[in-house]
Amino acid sequence: MPVRTCLDLLNSGALAFTIVWNTGQTSTVSVNATVVGAALVVTFTGVVSSGLFTGSSVVQVVTGPATDVLLCTASLGTVSSVYSLVTLEITSL
């Protein structure tokens, strides 16, 4: 998951990240992020743009508690990390 600042934590938009598999192979994923709700729920949808599984569609959902995130966005503190449940689905076309 890419590092995000308090200023862009709840912003939606395009981004890319690389997955390093346990085989040493990589997949670069290009996605659009959508952020929803009182809990921090970020949904990434897009495609694997290079590496293992190139051309496959991607849906990744990250769900975590919003308590610290709300402090950050209200300018009352910072968030050093958010422990989240991550679900990744890669579907071959």
Asked whether 32 and 13 are in contact (CB, 8 A), the reply is yes
- 81 versus 46: which is more confidently predicted? 46
pLDDT > 70: what percent of the chain?
Answer: 72
pLDDT at position 77:
67
What are the backbone dihedrals phi and psi of residue 40, each rounded to the nearest 5 degrees, phi first? -80, 105
Which residues, other chains included, contact 33 with Cβ-Cβ below 8 Å and sequence gap of 6+?
11, 12, 13, 14, 15, 42, 43, 44
Q: What is the pLDDT of residues 1-28, one digit of tens each?
A: 556 666 666 667 788 889 999 999 999 9
Q: pTM value?
A: 0.71
Asked whether 86 and 60 are in contact (CB, 8 A), the reply is yes
Q: In the predicted model, is pLDDT for residue 46 greater than 80?
A: yes
